[in-house]
Amino acid sequence: MKVSVIGAGNVGATCAEVIAFRQIASEVVLVDIAEGLAEGKAMDIMQCAANSGFDTVVKGVTKQYARTVNSDVVVITSGIPRKPGMTREELIGTNTAIVKSVMENALTVSPNAIFVIVTNPMDTMALAALKISGLAKNRIIGMGGALDSARFKYFLSQKLDKPVADIEGMVIGGHGDTTMIPLIRLATYKGIPVTQLLSEADQQEVVKQTMVGGATLTKLLGTSAWYAPGAAVAHLVDSILHDRKKLIPCSTLLEGEYGEQNIFIGVPCIIGKNGIEKIVDVTLNKEEKDEFRKSAEAIKEVNKELHNILS
Ligand code: APR
């Protein structure tokens, strides 16, 4: 079982590290354009093996896609972050060009791979990956909801003072701090609705904390987070490679589900060896439906720039 991670930055290298420590795959190939970076990160991770006891082999290469041959899963974390003064359009232009070249290179040697998209703006970059490659929609997975749901569960566990493993909850909608929708109505502690355990004010606080979860960390760290994003990708890769059929909220192409089409947006999905194997239909109440529609509109607005670039 082979995974290639394109972009050996913070998120890509952490993803490789978690895959190795959990022995999710037998081989991970890190690829970057920065000379020596992927080789260095791979060597550093491999020097954990003797003390940490894993036998996953992690390799690093600079631009040599030939080494990614026959990957089962390709993770795309390559991209640039939005810099001060940079417009969203410029970011989309640059990252679309990166996703395009990565998809083309990776598909040449791994024509059957499932792709996990992490590069931001993630919902738009996942759509870009689909449009550029023409692959079947099940083979392109946007990672956002897996991360946002993990953050939601963390904040719920903190507020309830209960172990995170006993909490269930999911975040749907866009992967952005104004577009994500933490579904507090459906969150539970061991099957008990959290709405019975937390005051309205506490529920709203958890929702707010989740929505600004990424921004809070960027402020604290001075750059965007990597541990939870890397672990979220590894969790997805595990469900794909081992055909676990886990229900994980992911960004996928909607074709009428949830009343939307032609956009990638986060909804609960069954993730297995074929990638997105099923979109799970959850009945939303009126307020949640309205939020979902607003979220979709915001993504469509961002996608307009992508359509301009690709036309
Ligand atoms: N091919 C391969 N690697 C590339 C390419 C390319 N064409 N272009 C850029 N890279 C590499 C950079 O050299 C860098 O090492 O992608 C890496 C990105 O790493 P970081 O800057 O550390 O970014 P990271 O925090 O890992 O985030 C990656 O995920 O959450 C999103 O917004 C985030 O889009 C960003 C992505």
pLDDT digits (tens, 9 = 90+) for 117-160: 999 999 999 999 999 999 999 999 999 999 999 999 999 999 99
Residue 13 alpha carbon, nearest atom of ligand 1: 26
Catalytic residues: 175
- By 3-state DSSP, what share of the chain in percent is helix, strand and coil, each rounded to 5? 50, 20, 30
Nearest-angstrom CA–CA distance, 87 and 213: 22
Ligand 1 pocket, mutate which of 18, 33, 99 (most atoms under 8 A from CB): 33
Contact of 29 with 2, CB cutoff 8 Å: yes
DSSP state of 83: P
157 and 167 in a common domain: yes
Ligand 1 pocket, mutate which of 76, 77, 175 (most atoms under 8 A from CB): 77
Regions of the chain where pLDDT drops below 50: none
132 and 10 in a common domain: yes
CATH number at residue 80: 3.40.50.720
- How far is the centre of ligand 1, averaged over its atoms, from the C-alpha of 78 (Å)? 3
Out of 143, 178, 200, pick the residue that ends a domain. Answer: 143
303 and 175 in a common domain: yes
Residue 118 alpha carbon, nearest atom of ligand 1: 29
113 and 6 in a common domain: yes
226 and 94 in a common domain: no
- How far is the centre of ligand 1, averaged over its atoms, from the C-alpha of 59 (Å)? 17
pLDDT of 81 reads: 81
Contact of 252 with 269, CB cutoff 8 Å: yes
DSSP state of 81: P
pLDDT of 85 reads: 75
pLDDT of 82 reads: 75
CATH number at residue 203: 3.90.110.10
Structural domain count, the chain: 2
151 and 51 in a common domain: no
111 and 180 in a common domain: no
Ligand 1 pocket, mutate which of 80, 83, 143, 177 (most atoms under 8 A from CB): 80
- How far is the centre of ligand 1, averaged over its atoms, from the C-alpha of 140 (Å)? 18
Out of 109, 124, 143, pick the residue that ends a domain. Answer: 143
Out of 143, 162, 183, pick the residue that ends a domain. Answer: 143
Nearest-angstrom CA–CA distance, 220 and 187: 27
Nearest-angstrom CA–CA distance, 18 and 22: 6
200 and 63 in a common domain: no
pLDDT of 90 reads: 85
217 and 302 in a common domain: yes
242 and 284 in a common domain: yes
Say which residues have a Cβ less than 8 Å from residue 68's Cβ, sequence separation at least 6. Answer: 4, 6, 29, 31, 61, 74, 106, 109, 110
| Nearest residue (CA) to ligand 1, atom 27 | 11
Burial of 174 (0-12, 13-18, 19+ CB in 10 A): buried
- How far is the centre of ligand 1, averaged over its atoms, from the C-alpha of 99 (Å)? 10
List the binding residues for NAD(+).
7-12, 32, 95, 118-120
pLDDT of 116 reads: 98
195 and 113 in a common domain: no
Which protein residues are within 6 Å of ligand 1, measured from CB? 6-12, 31-34, 37, 77-79, 81, 98, 101-102, 118-120, 224, 226, 229
Q: What does the DSSP assignment read for 116-180?
A: EE-SSSHHHHHHHHHHHH---GGGEEE-HHHHHHHHHHHHHHHHHTS-GGGEE--EEE-SSTTTE
> Which residue(s) pair with 4 in the sheet?
29, 74
303 and 171 in a common domain: yes
- How far is the centre of ligand 1, averaged over its atoms, from the C-alpha of 162 (Å)? 35
Q: Where does 27-149 show beta strands of DSSP type E?
A: 27-32, 57-62, 73-76, 114-117, 140-142
Contact of 175 with 296, CB cutoff 8 Å: no
Instruction: Work out whether strand 73-76 and strand 114-117 pair parallel, antiparallel, or are unpaired.
Output: parallel
Q: Which domain holds residue 208?
A: 144-310
Which residue pairs from 268-273 have beta carbons closer than 8 angstroms and sit at least 24 positions apart in sequence?
A: 268/145, 268/170, 268/172, 269/141, 270/245, 270/246, 271/141, 271/236, 271/239, 271/240, 271/244, 271/245, 271/246, 271/247, 272/239, 272/240, 272/243, 272/244, 272/245, 273/240, 273/241, 273/243
